[in-house]
Amino acid sequence: MGSASPTPEPVLSTPLRISIAGALGRMGQAVEAAVSARDDMVVTARFDRPGLEAPGIVTVEEALVLCDVVIDFTTPAASVALTRMVAARGGVAMIIGTTGLTEEDLAQIDASAATMPIVQAGNFSLGVNMLMGLVAQAARALGPDAYDIEIFEAHHRRKVDAPSGTALMLGEAAASGRGVDLAEASVRVRDGITGPREPGTIGFSVQRGGGIIGEHSVSFAAEDEILTLSHSARDRGLFARGAAEAARWVAGRPPGRYDMMDVLSLKA
């Protein structure tokens, strides 16, 4: 692999061995199906919440012995704790798809990424990662005097965080195109007498209902035209297939926190 890393490269199995964190969840089951459909990797262990017993479910300790890569779609607290356990064990890489991670969570994940490779992404689809590049480009070209940026997302009724990780990634892409800090430019809530829209802000709005898998759009609204760039997810297998692709890519990489733009070679 030609890595300059001081960490010895792990000996990778063929097929690649995958442990699924949150195996009983919606994404865990989609990951099981996505990995099972490939012949270059195999699910060797499944685990879920500590203490939860179900057929085919092992403990996290057992699961870490049996794999090269852990694919994790769980909760922020679980993902952070898991990265610490995986880093302490060594020789295993991680894919983190969990959303709702705070800056503090990411700092803790970065501490683990000093000794192990991790791909962390709020969205594993090729289309959304393409969309981020297009949004940054449009935000660069369509200035704040004429164009207001508004981000909309819709998800199923069981989603617990808002705005979605993907909406925030799109916000970061728009902010980077405009050369501003998203934390300062974003308007996350509007209620009551809000006054007129502040120029240069990036607005978010959120819908929750039914079984919506994931809708995202970024509008650039001027007085005389609106450009809308959007993405619609039709099947959560999309994210699971992207996560499996990321697992193939990350195995044997030098330590560090990577994202899906690295996996898809979409970095400018």
Q: How far is CA 53 from the centre of its chain?
A: 28
Residue number closest to ligand NAD, CB atom: 25
* Minimal distance, residue 5 CB to ligand NAD, in Å: 26
d(CA 263, CA 268): 13
Which token pair is 222? 């001027």
Return the residue of 35, 116, 121, 151 that touches ligand NAD, per CB under 6 A: 121
Q: Could you tell me the sign of the dihedral formed by the alpha carbons of 141, 144, 147, 151, in that order?
A: positive
Which token pair is 201? 């802000």
If the CB atoms of residues 12 and 206 are measured against ligand NAD, the closer one turns out to be 206
Catalytic residue list contains 231:
no
d(CA 66, CA 18): 8
Range in contact with ligand NAD (rule: CB under 6 A) among 44-52, 135-143, 188-196, 203-211: 44-52
> Counting contacts by CB under 6 A, is residue 49 touching ligand NAD?
yes
If the CB atoms of residues 8 and 50 are measured against ligand NAD, the closer one turns out to be 50
Return the residue of 147, 239, 249, 258 that touches ligand NAD, per CB under 6 A: 239
Buried-state track 185-206, b at ≥16 Cβ within 10 A, e below 16: bbeeeeeeeeeeeeeeebbbbb
Q: Phi and psi for 57 in degrees, rounded to 5?
A: -100, 130
Contacts with 116 (C-beta within 8 Å, 6 or more apart), sequence order: 7, 83, 86, 87, 90, 92, 93, 94, 255
> Counting contacts by CB under 6 A, is residue 171 touching ligand NAD?
no
If the CB atoms of residues 12 and 85 are measured against ligand NAD, the closer one turns out to be 85
* Minimal distance, residue 161 CB to ligand NAD, in Å: 6
> Counting contacts by CB under 6 A, is residue 124 touching ligand NAD?
yes
* Minimal distance, residue 81 CB to ligand NAD, in Å: 6
Q: Is the peptide bond before 76 cis (omega within 30 degrees of 0)?
A: no
- Catalog residues that contact ligand NAD under the rule CB under 6 A: 21-22, 24-28, 47-50, 73-75, 78, 97-100, 121-124, 236, 239
**Mind telling me the catalytic residues?**
155, 159
